[in-house]
Amino acid sequence: MGFGKTAEDNVRIIRELSKLSVIGRPILIGPSRKSFIGKLFGLKVEERLEATLASLSTAYRNGATIFRVHDAAAAKRYLSMIDLLLGPPP
């Protein structure tokens, strides 16, 4: 995430993350409070939790298994609820 990519590039990475599963390795992602969220929605750093959680759940459903986050407890509860509602990712 970030490092010379546009906000739209970061959205595309999350949407198409499942394409990386062919490498057969764990996928780490860290969208927590990133500037792309701020740019997309005009949010300050402290206002980015909900968008971070949405990014995490989409990345999780698309194959990410390791997450770098600021709000670890909230992220864990959120992803656990996603599993309860939808079942574990394919």
Answer yes or no: is 1 within a domain.
Answer: no
What's the token pair of residue 50? 């909900």
Map tokens 């709000």 to a residue: 71
Of 83, 79, 77, which is closest to residue 55 (Cα–Cα)? 79
Answer yes or no: is 2 within a domain.
Answer: no
Radius of gyration of the chain (CA): 13
Domain span including residue 57:
7-18+25-86
CA dist 40 and 85 (Å) reads 28
Cα distance from N-terminal residue to C-terminal residue, the chain: 23
pTM: 0.89
Total tally of structural domains belonging to the chain: 1
Q: For residue range 34-88, list pLDDT tens digits in order.
A: 999 999 999 999 999 999 999 999 999 999 999 999 999 999 999 999 999 999 8
